[in-house]
Amino acid sequence: MDRARRWIKGALAVTAAAALGGTALATTAQAADINVAKNAGFESDLSNWTCSPGTGSVVGSPVHGGAKALKGTPTAQDTAQCSQAVAVKPNSTYTLSSWVQGSYVYLGASGTGTTDVSTWTPGSSGWQQLSTTFTTGANTTSVTVYTHGWYGQSAYYADDVSVLGPDGGGGGGDPVVIPAVPAGLAAGTATSSSVDLSWNPVSGATGYNVYRDGAKVASVGGASATVTGLAAATSYSFQVSATNSAGESAKSAAVTARTATSGGGGGGTVPKHAVTGYWQNFNNGATVQKLRDVPSQYDIIAVSFADATSTPGQISFTLDPAVGYASAADFKADIAAKQAAGKSVILSVGGEKGSVSVNSDASATAFADSAYSLMQQYGFDGVDIDLENGLNSTYMSKALHQLAAKAGAKLVLTMAPQTIDMQSTSGEYFKTALNVKDILTVVNMQYYNSGSMLGCDGKVYSQGSVDFLTALACIQLEGGLDPSQVGLGVPASTRGAGSGYVDPSVVNNALDCLTRGTGCGSFKPARTYPGLRGAMTWSTNWDATAGNSWSNSVGPKVHSLP
């Protein structure tokens, strides 16, 4: 798939494990450590802090702790950075953290004498904690810590900054004390196997422990978690505690939640003839839309894209603020609404610029585990494999079968190989499709961005013609895939791909040719394939840009196939 994504320097993706609370917030602080930052909660206004001229101020709302917080107001030429030099000990490790709110908020440390560090968040309507660690050099006695926003973005807020580590002799903060008990624990969305929890942040906490029926099940860094691995139609009691280097608070008051009665995302059942559309989780000039805006002609909606993490095989997904969702909960609600309408919503892995490496048993397991975690977190019905930089058929097949074992019979599994990937059954992509034929929903090959290619009759056909669609589909249909596992993937508009756009009427002719033997060009298959699954387009956003002309034409044709 083409995707002109807007990458911001230093961008981080939240891994599935962290999003689900499977990884405790790391800290190297000891009991005697202190917060060496001064005026860490901005209760003394901007004392000890230096901000870019005219960009920093102190406000009484919103605040995370105490009565005041920092407000930074970026301009087109300035990120509104506020910084403080803190006294540190050489050869020591410090944990830098801060609670922040707003779009593109950064937290970092420079002058460490080793490797300078930074972390950031693309945005949040509520408080969330950023955290990173750094180690000082052999002669380092002062480090500059800072926070800032991004050029031209809206104001950001920061509060309760912590630089936790050995006292550097600068008269920093007080020794760390055990945090207070979290309040406001509430249960949110519940699926058949997971429950979303949230609570009020606790000042001085660096992490939280989540308990289910008295047993610890997760450690998270922020004031929310999704507890997974639950049984359907079952009530559970949950509690949460706050932690830091001084210890753990008592558990909160308990909240009870009951899981739903049916498993998976709920969409699960793909119609005999289906239309697949890719939905863009980014803005590349096509119409920006929410899932609720995707027309009803689409039966499978592939959310684009999941990305690789630093762990081989593991994937992550982060909502792009450009899409306009106020929260992940709103996104999940849209997924659930589509599923209630009989649609399947899946997570597409890769895209034109994505690179997920599954080439070992360990990476296959990491893929399956992280993909299933994301399915549980968001309610996705399955995954789409859109890896355009190569794959290993042996280990990707293992990964997908492991995922199917976790997700069950309702798993929706699609693929979007390029034309070159499906020219021969000896190709890695084609072998993968055949290896997972027992769990495969549909292969929607991309009939674009390729130039002329060979058809199943050994003749060369030009991209953008009905013959190109039918003669190349014939390779898959005669190469071992069931007709129900073959779809035609095309751009929704001339702007949706670099080349290969065809008018919807050409797509419809190809569908008739393959299923009914009518509407063919010079190539006519030796037999018909009435069970052909349907068609796919990149993307629902480009379709909307063109007035939804593709789905309005191809959708009814697909749904009327024999």
Beta carbons within 8 Å of 402's beta carbon, 6+ residues apart: 364, 365, 367, 368
| Distance from C-alpha of 190 to C-alpha of 288, rounded to nearest angstrom | 28
| Distance from C-alpha of 8 to C-alpha of 150, rounded to nearest angstrom | 9
Q: 300-308 and 274-280: which strand pairing?
A: parallel
CB 306 within 8 A of CB 105: no
DSSP H or E run through 80: none
- C-beta atoms surrounding 174 within 10 Å: 9
Rounded to a whole number of angstroms, the CA Rg of the chain reads: 26
What residue has token string 């249909």? 477
DSSP H or E run through 188: strand 186-190
Q: Is 428 a catalytic residue?
A: no
- C-beta atoms surrounding 264 within 10 Å: 24
Helical spans, DSSP H, in 167-253: none
Beta carbons within 8 Å of 269's beta carbon, 6+ residues apart: 342, 344, 410
| Distance from C-alpha of 201 to C-alpha of 210, rounded to nearest angstrom | 14
Q: How far is CA 146 from the centre of its chain?
A: 27
DSSP-derived secondary structure letter, 154: P
CB 56 within 8 A of CB 48: no
DSSP H or E run through 559: helix 549-559
| Distance from C-alpha of 397 to C-alpha of 413, rounded to nearest angstrom | 12
Helical spans, DSSP H, in 195-312: none
Out of 248, 388, 428, 478, which one is annotated catalytic?
Answer: 388
Torsion (CA) 96, 101, 102, 106 in degrees, nearest 10: 0
Calculate ∠ Cα 63-67-72, nearest 5°.
Answer: 45
DSSP H or E run through 436: none
The set of catalytic residues is 388
